[in-house]
Every structure is written in C-alpha cells, then in structure tokens.
C-alpha cells in the first residue's frame, strides 16, 4: 500500500453550540489541512498519482471554504461546522473529484490550531 500526503491552509470563521462558552462565540481559525491519498499500485512512471492532480482538486475544495463564515455555508446547513465535519466534507468532496481507479482519499485532518485537529478516516 502506498500513501501520498498533501497539505494546504485556509482561513474561515465558525461558531459551535453546545461545546463550551468560548467556542459558542463567533471566531476564526487559520486551518491547516492534511490529506492522504492511498492505493496499491504505482503507474508506469513509478508513482501512485501526480501530486499536482491532488493539489489542483484539493484547491477547488478548499476554495469553497476559504474566507467564509462556515455556519452560513450550504455545506454545513444540516451539520455543525466543526473540525470533524470539515475534515469529512473535504475527504468526501475530494474523493468525488479524484476519480481514479484504485486510488482513494484515506484520511483528512483539519487542524484548527497547532495542537488541535480532527481526523476523518474513510472506510
């Protein structure tokens, strides 16, 4: 099994309820995102897939979040804009966009600070 890792950043605000007073206030983060793409076979060039493809598609996903108030986004209309849901959204949306046989988005971590993140692990 081979795994690639791509990282990126975005800035966004959110507000969480039922978590604690500090998180219930409107606040923002400079999010750090780690994406892992996994597969069993390398192509003829000896790589799992081109990093550039992952980065290009990840940018499209991140652009839907960057400099937004996440709670008002259609993406989070039915779920809280938590780190957990952000990681899951990025994983599922990127999986949909990277339609390559034998390649899957295996996990995504959404870091809201340098020492706090949530990770979504695909089935």
Annotated binding residue 29: yes
In angstroms, rounded to a whole number, what is the distance separating the alpha carbons of residues 111 and 94?
Answer: 17
Query: What average pLDDT does this structure show over 70-88?
Result: 96
User: Catalytic residue numbers?
Assistant: 23, 67, 112
From the CA atom positions of the chain, what is the Rg in Å? 15
Residue located via tokens 């949909």: 96
Band (pLDDT 50/70/90 cuts) for residue 19 is low
Annotated binding residue 14: yes
- pLDDT at 23 exceeding the cut of 90: no
CATH code of the domain containing 41:
3.30.479.10
Regarding beta strands 68-69 and 27-39, do their DSSP bridges make them parallel or antiparallel, or are they unpaired?
A: unpaired
User: Both tokens of residue 70?
Assistant: 């996440």
36: containing domain: 2-121
Range with lowest mean pLDDT among 9-13, 14-18, 51-55, 76-80: 14-18
CA atoms within 13 A on the CB side of 52: 0
- Total domains in the chain come to 1
pTM: 0.93
Annotated binding residue 27: yes
């Amino acid at each position: 099994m081979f795994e690639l890792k791509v990282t990126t950043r975005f800035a966004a605000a959110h507000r969480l309820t039922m978590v604690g007073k500090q998180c219930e206030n409107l606040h923002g983060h400079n999010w750090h995102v780690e994406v892992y793409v996994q597969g069993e076979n390398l192509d003829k060039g000896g790589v799992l897939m081109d990093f550039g493809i992952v980065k290009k598609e990840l940018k499209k996903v991140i652009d839907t979040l960057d400099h937004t108030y996440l709670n008002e986004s259609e993406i989070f209309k039915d779920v809280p804009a938590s780190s957990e849901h952000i990681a899951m959204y990025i994983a599922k949306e990127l999986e949909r966009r990277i339609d390559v046989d034998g390649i899957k988005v295996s996990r995504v971590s959404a870091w809201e600070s340098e020492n706090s993140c949530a990770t979504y692990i695909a089935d």
